[in-house]
Structure formats: C-alpha cells, structure tokens
Amino acid sequence: MARNCLAVVLAAGEGTRMKSAKSKVLHSVGNLPMIAHVVGAAQAAKVDAVSLVVGRDADAVASAANTGLPISTHEQTERLGTAHAVLAAREAIERGFDDILVVFGDTPLITAETLRNARQSLDDGADVVVIGFRTENPHGYGRLIEEDGELVAIREHKDASEEERKITFCNGGMMAIAGNKALKLLDAVGNENAKGEYYLTDIVGLARENGGTVTAIEASAEEVLGVDTRAGLARVEALWQARKRHDLLMAGVTMRAPETVFLSHDTLIEADAVIEPNVVFGPGATVRSGATIHAFSHIEGATVERGCSVGPFARLRPGASLQAGAKVGNFCEVKNAEIGEGAKVNHLTYVGDAEIGAKANIGAGTITCNYDGFNKHRTTIGEGAFVGSNSSLVAPVTIGAQAYVASGSVITRDVPDEALAFGRAQQANKQGLGKKLRERLQADKERREKAGD
C-alpha cells in the first residue's frame, strides 16, 4: 500500500465516570496506557503521522502516545460532538494525506489488522469506511444498513424500524476517510439535532449525496470496546490478558493455569518455558526457552535465561539477570544483580546490587547489605563460592572464587579466593546460668501479674 496516512486519535473526553484525577486514556491495560495501545496499533497499520485531539493532561497524553511517529496535539476546548473533535485536527488534515483514520484513545483492543483493512478499503475506491461489529444483543447501538455491498445509512436505535432493529451489524464508531474529501465532508456536518452537536456519522449520508462510495468492514466486538468506568477498564484488561495468554500458548509456552497468569504489554516468553499458576509479570520481563517460573512469583524488569528455575514465591526486580541454569528459590528477592550460570540462590535470601559468579551457592537467609542509608554499594561473589546460611555481606565487599563463608557470618572485608571466612562472635557457654535466668524471668512475671500490670 503506497498511500500515506494520518491517524486522528480522539482523546479529549473528560472520563468523569472513571472518577479519576487523570485523563482516562492514561489508565493502563497490560501496564501500558490505553492511548499507547491505540497509537501502537495505528503504527503497526503503517500510518505516517498521528494527531492527538486532547483535553486535560495534554502533555502527559502526548508523552504516553509517543512511539516514534510524528505526533501533533490539538486541544478541543469545547465538546460539540465527534465531527467537531476531528476538526480540531484541521491543521494536520490540511497537510494532505491519502488516508485519514479516526480512532478513539479509549479503545485499547483495536488491532492493526482492522485498521489495515479499513485503509485497504479506501485503496479499493471507498470514500468513507465505517468499522462495525456484530453482536447478538444490538440494543442501543447504531445499525449499519447495507445494500449491494455498500453502507447506505447508520440508523440510531431509537430511530430504527422494527425490521432495522433486527440487524446485528452495528457501528463501532471508528472510520477511515479519503484524505482528499475529508475536510469537505467534515465541514458539511451540521448540528441540527436534539443535542446541537456535530456527529461524525453524518458523513456517511453526505458522502453518498455527493456520489461517493461508503462501505463497512467488520471488527470483533471486543476491538471496539470503549472504556468509560473502572468496571469497563477491568473488563478490557481481562480481554487483553486472555488475548496475550492465548498468543503465548499458541507460541509454545506452557501455562498450568493460564487464567491466573498476568502479563504486561512487553512480556517476552519463549517457547518451551513453563509458567506455573499465579505468576505476575510486570513491564520489562523476559523468560527464555526451557526456564520454569514456579507459582506465586513476581517478575519485573528482569531477564531469565535458558533452563533457569525461579520460585515459588520469588521476586525478581528491575535489573535482575539470571544466566543459563541459575536458580532463585522460594521467598527470595533479587534486584539489580546478575546471577551467574548454574549459580543457586535457594531460599529466604535477598541479593541486591550484586554479581554472583557461576556455580556459586548462596545459603538460606543470606543478605547483601547494599544500602548505608545514603548510597547503594555492590557485592561481588566469585565463581564456585559458598556462602553459608544466615550470612550478612556488608557492601562494598568481594567474596573470592571458591571461597567459603561460614554460616551466621557478618562479612565486612573482602575474602580472598579459596579462603574460609568466619565473621561471627565467639560462642561462650555458662553452665547453669540458663536455669537462673529462667527463674528470674518467671519471678518477674509473677510479680507483675500479682500487681495487676
């Protein structure tokens, strides 16, 4: 398709029913603002530029929509209908594009395929292309009335005849318009209606009156779902998650209970990875082939290489990088740290701002003490090192290759390669003192109870 295209994204709605301090298009689906989903679909449909029609939070909306395409913003100061909203982008439309796509910033499930199909219909000779959907319950929707393959009218439910109300092909609101006719059609839209607003749907009749061709294409019902409330946002999130899970399953990822796994827009999981129930992926997570993420783990901004094992109940925070065959076990947390090939961080351990060498073994309850109250410091543990349980490694500190750290140690100085480090107080046993202490504590308790303390 050698045609150029402008996407006009309507994003000026107040979204008062969201009951939110921010514009509704900034609310996220799959940890990505809705506006970014819409612009991303337009970009994948090969549009050349995007015009955002904005209201409040204009700068934030423009920032969230930035995918690398040329973007212009146009403020809609009055809310006088959808055609009026599109005309807010008049300056951009006047630059001259072959195709104009009109989409909504609160429809994050719209696909690039549907937008490409709309553009193709323009290329095939249509002047206006309406994106519709089919539903078994069309009550309240505008009906798309077709004759001989053309769209002849969009009839609102209240104005439709009994026969027309049986039509299940409904208006989804989004359109494609031939660029050389867009402004003429939009300027001809009047506001002679009960609300005194300028409706985009009127260009269907206007185009036909001028001898133009109007067609409709079909999208799935979920693609055109708009979000007006938190309940609607939750519904769209559920549909998006189901779509993303299905794509991963079909790509060869195993999920034991897919409905319990939650993904982000950029989650990358390769074939033959295994994801157990109740795993949450925040933004920036990558899981390579052959890795297993056990139940109740949370992964964000982290990379898990081939053959790794994570969890159950593990948390990988941004900057965590597990090399091939590494293991992070139950109730462990890793942040901004590299776990070397075949290394093990088995359980109840915190590793932050650290580098763990290949085949090192970090015992239960080990802590890299990386923060001094003002600055972060790094811990380096060499290849094949063994750190005993319940050890505290006070950074900055280096544990050498093949070194041992005795259980219960507090390590504040570097440990050379192949050395054995003890960093704990000398144990002393006082014969009989335990009995005396117990008797004294028991007596104190009885005195307090007698005094009513």
Bind-site residues for acetyl-CoA: 364, 370-371, 389, 407, 424
Question: With the CA atoms of 231, 237, 11 and 207 taken in that order, what torsion angle do they form, in degrees rounded to the nearest 10?
Answer: -100
* DSSP helix, strand, coil percent of the chain (3-state; round to 5): 25, 30, 45
In the numeric block, the tokens 């607003």 are attached to 197
What residues form the annotated binding site for Mg(2+)? 106
The torsion defined by the Cα of 166, 171, 172 and 176, in degrees rounded to 10, comes to 150
Judged on CB neighbours under 10 Å (0-12, 13-18, 19+), 21 is exposed
Pairing of strands 99-104, 71-75: unpaired
Residues serving a catalytic function are 347
Residue 260, helix vs strand vs coil:
helix
167: closest CA among 218, 240, 116?
218
Question: Where is the binding site for UDP-N-acetyl-alpha-D-glucosamine, in residues?
Answer: 10-13, 24, 76, 81-82, 142, 156, 171, 317, 335, 350, 361
Known binding residues are: 10-13, 24, 76, 81-82, 106, 142, 156, 171, 317, 335, 350, 361, 364, 370-371, 389, 407, 424
Place of tokens 């701002």: 353
CA distance 241 to 179: 35
Q: Count Cβ neighbours within 10 Å for each residue of 163-186 and write b for 16 or more, e otherwise.
A: eeeebebbbbbbbbbbbebbbebb
| Peptide bond just before 108 cis, omega within 30 deg | no
SS3 82: helix
Biggest alpha carbon–alpha carbon distance for the chain = 107
